[in-house]
Amino acid sequence: MPLLSHVAKSGVALGFILALFLGFQASEGSAPLKPAVGWQLDPVHSFGLFRVQHMNAGMFWGRFNDVTGTISHHEDGSMPPQLNVRCMVESIDTGSEKLDRTMLGPKWFNGKEHEAMTFVSTSGEKIDATHWTLKGDLTIAGISREVEVITELTGIGGGPQGRKIGFECTVEINRNAFGIRILRGAIGDTVRLVVGLEGDEIKAE
Amino acid sequence: MLAELLVPIFLPGIAFLAILLVLKPEHRERWSGLVGGGVLPLATLVGFGFEGAWPSSFSDWHRLPLILGGVGLLSAGLCWLPSGVRRWFAPLGLGALAGVLGEFPDMNRSDQCLLGLSVVVSVKWWMLASEATLGRLVGLGAWVSCVALAPMALDGGFTTLMILSASGATVAGALVLAPRSLAAGGGGSMLLGVMIPLLAWCGFSYDYAEAPWWQWAGVAGLPVAIIVFFDPVSVAEGQARGPWISGLMRALFVVLLTGWLLQPTLDSLVAPADDPYGSY
């Protein structure tokens, strides 16, 4: 009898442990992912910078001031962020009004025919907790090319007005691939784009 | 970089002049439009070649040299028509061609109709002007207009149009230098009648300097100023003043008018250089 009781107790304990383990496994496997949060880009705190070599000498920086769009991001980092960014080319700011006009001309950004540059991410690969390589379609002057953008989550914060998220995206492109082929030799082929994004959380209605 | 500018401007114009001079004077009237119509497409191609920048997609401004090439072909055909028919058929046909194909940025259907109408009026004017006894002044009027359009295009950020306007000036110059190529109602006058308003409309559409429409229209209409030379002021008998004074005063009037029209553009262009690219 004591033996039977001992076996029964051991069985119950084993069953309990097994049930706990299985239950834990089940809860881990079927737990719903934290849904992605949507963010609306804040045009005041978002911008695009471009850098290109001038006359084989210095690196010239210019800026696009009007950047809008949306971000979708899983805060647990389980999925790469999704970016949909639109940058109005007429907001170009090189520090020189004359140069701005030239760069809006038909052989540069062609602002009259293509008012915006866009980037829409399609997939991504995690590098570490705050960095991803995002693949997506970059469209400049009406020509789309797939590019890989190094994207850094710079922070999630905010204030009384609501939560904010920040990303910084960097990509190097060959301007010739986008049909901007003017002044080759004088102006470098490789253009670095650095885009600073800040988004406000889109609250569900 | 200088070659990128000078070769597309001068090479097609020099080639045009050479072809005109090879042609017999009596044939220039008929063929000047066809040959001249090829100059701006050629300037565009030479420009692409020198920049090593062949376009990877079609842009609205490419219509400009294409239309002028079409005008060259059409003018060659129109020159075979009897002059009475050609007098009206040419402005209407060329206006329709420019109005239908001239679709530049920010232009809607009514703008295209206006473009077509401006070409009708312009071609009619050039055909009448070439029939009047103004000699080479007719071509000089076109030359002044094209030269004035070039800085406006540059100020508006459209360097390629600056090159094309300057190429247009070489076309006008060649028509001036080759006798009888601007004969009454011939191909040369048809070409000028389309080229000048088309350059102005294209420049206006792409303009980032925001020059007012009347400035573009005024510069395109500058050739009309040559009418001041048409009816010489009669010199009273016994008056010492020679006819050259009268001509000089009229020329001064045209220069002042051109300067007044271009003043905002020139002010903008000569403003302190803050262009870090050195640009063109």
pLDDT in tens, B89-138: 999 999 999 999 999 998 999 999 999 999 999 999 888 888 776 667 77
The first and second tokens of residue B230, run together, are: 């048409």
Chain B positions touching A63 (Cβ under 8 A) are none
Asked whether residue A110 falls in the same domain as residue A184, the answer is yes
Residues A10 and A88 in one domain: no
pLDDT at B135: 64
Instruction: Report the residue of B202, B205, B279, B280 to disrupt the A interface, i.e. the one with the largest count of A CBs within 10 Å.
Output: B279
Q: Which positions of chain A have pLDDT values less than 50?
A: 1, 18, 20-32
Q: Which residues of A touch B61 (CB under 8 A)?
A: 106
Structural domain span for residue A8: 1-31
Candidate from B51, B59, B279 with C-beta closest to A181: B51
Q: Is the domain of A193 the same as that of A157?
A: yes
- The verdict on A24 and A46 lying in the same domain is no
Averaged pLDDT of chain B? 85
Q: Would you state the structure tokens that stand for residue B124, as one six-digit string?
A: 């009619």
CA distance A20 to A88: 57
CATH of the domain at A111: 2.40.128.110
**Tell me, what's the pLDDT at B76?**
87
State the complex-level ipTM: 0.81
Tell me which residue in B206, B209, B271 faces A106 most closely, judged by beta carbons: B206
The whole-angstrom distance between A146's CA and the closest CA on chain B is 17
Torsional sign, CA B27, B30, B36, B38? negative
Asked if residue A177 and residue A105 are part of one domain, the reply reads yes
Tokens 């001038």 sit on residue: A54
B160·A107 Cβ contact <8 A: yes
For residue B85, the model assigns a pLDDT of 86
Let me know: does B208 contact B59? Beta carbons within 8 Å: no
Domains: count for chain A:
2
Write out pLDDT tens, residues B15-74: 999 999 998 888 887 888 888 888 888 888 888 887 777 888 899 999 999 999 999 999
Is residue B69 a contact partner of residue B37, using CB atoms and an 8 Å limit? yes
Same domain, A163 and A189: yes
Same domain membership, residue A95 and residue A11:
no
* Contact residues on chain B for A95, CB-CB shorter than 8 A: 274, 276
Select the residue from A61, A90, A113 to test the B interface by mutation, using most B Cβ atoms within 10 A: A113
Residues A73 and A142 in one domain: yes
For testing contact with chain B, the best of A54, A91, A102 (most B CBs within 10 A): A102
The 10s digit of each residue's pLDDT in B217-244 is: 999 999 888 777 765 445 455 555 556 7
Quick one: pLDDT at residue B99? Answer: 96
Cβ-based contacts of B208 with chain A (< 8 Å): 100-101, 104-105, 111
The reported pTM is 0.84
| Both structure tokens of A77 | 């980092």
Q: What is the pLDDT of residue A203?
A: 82
- Size of the A and B interface in Cβ pairs below 8 Å: 83
A57 lies in the same domain as A8: no
Q: Residue B19 in contact with residue B33, Cβ under 8 Å?
A: no
In B, minimum Cα distance to A57 occurs at: B277
For residues A14 and A106, membership in a common domain is answered with: no
Q: Across the interface, do A183 and B159 touch by the CB < 8 Å criterion?
A: no
- Hey, are the CB atoms on A107 and B1 less than 8 Å from each other? no
Of B52, B205, B279, the CB nearest to A102: B279
CA–CA separation, A151 and B231 (whole Å) = 73
Closest CA to B78 of B125, B29, B139, B121: B29
Exposure b/e, B259-276, CB count within 10 A at least 16 = b: eebbebbeebeeeeeeeb
Interface residues of A toward B, Cβ cutoff 8 Å, are 54-55, 60, 94-107, 110-113, 142-143, 179, 181-184, 186-187
Q: Do residue A25 and residue A123 come from a single domain?
A: no
Q: Which residues pair with A131 in a beta bridge?
A: A128, A152
Same domain, yes or no, for A7 and A95? no
Q: What is the 3-state secondary structure (H, E, C) of chain A?
A: CHHHHHHHHHHHHHHHHHHHHHHHHHHHHHCCCCCCEEEEECCCCCEEEEEEEECCCCEEEEEECCEEEEEEECCCCCCCCEEEEEEEHHHEECCCHHHHHHHCCCCCCCCCCCCEEEEEEEEEEEEECCEEEEEEEEEECCEEEEEEEEEEEEEEEEECCEEEEEEEEEEEEEHHHHCCCCCECCEEEEEEEEEEEEEEECCCC
Q: Is the Cβ–Cβ distance between A90 and A104 less than 8 Å?
A: yes
> What is each CA distance from B41 to B5, B145, B184, in whole angstroms?
15, 19, 25
Query: B209 — contact with chain A (CB < 8 Å)?
Result: yes
Cβ atoms of residues B152 and B216 within 8 Å: yes
HSE (CB half, 13 Å, CA atoms) of B117? 6
* Percent of chain B residues topping a pLDDT of 70: 90
